[in-house]
Amino acid sequence: MRVTSVLLALTLGLSGAGAAFAQTPEAAPQTLPAITVSTVAPRLMRDRVIASGLVEAVEMVQVQPLIEGQPIETLEADVGDMVSQGQVLARLSLSTLELQRSQFTASLASAKATIASRRSPSGRSTTASFPTRAPNRWR
């Protein structure tokens, strides 16, 4: 019983001290947070970012001609230009292709001449023929 009365006295004493401490004039007034209320309605949202800095490509792509060894004559786009799908970015040099075409034309003309000489009216070839194997004289 004595323990109960001591606890009761201690509790009353502490609650009185706490009440006296809370009522002191030095306690700071509470500041309430600022609340803004808006009505819910559909609005147009603008997704614009204003920033400064460098823009870097997500993926780097090596541009090369489909024909290996074909040199690039002119570049039609520069670094930083906006390009679209199907736009010409570079023009290949035609000099290598023209050289190949003239070589193929010459070999075609040679092949046609060979065919024409084999079909000559005499039935004989105008080119010299050599035996494929030399005769063995040492037998």
Highest mean pLDDT among 50-54, 93-97, 98-102, 104-108: 104-108
| pLDDT tens per residue, range 28-49 | 778 888 888 888 888 888 888 7
Mean pLDDT of 58-76: 79
Q: What's the angle, vertex CA 29, arms to CA 26 and CA 35, rounded to 5?
A: 165
Contact 61, 67 (CB under 8 A): no
Contact 88, 76 (CB under 8 A): yes
pLDDT averaged over every residue in the chain: 75
Alpha helices in the chain (DSSP H): 2-22, 95-118
Tokens linked to 19: 């009440």
Mean pLDDT of 117-137: 61
Q: Rounded CA gap, 58 and 86, in Å?
A: 20
Whether residue 101 has pLDDT greater than 80: yes
| pLDDT tens per residue, range 15-26 | 554 444 455 556
Mean pLDDT of 101-120: 92
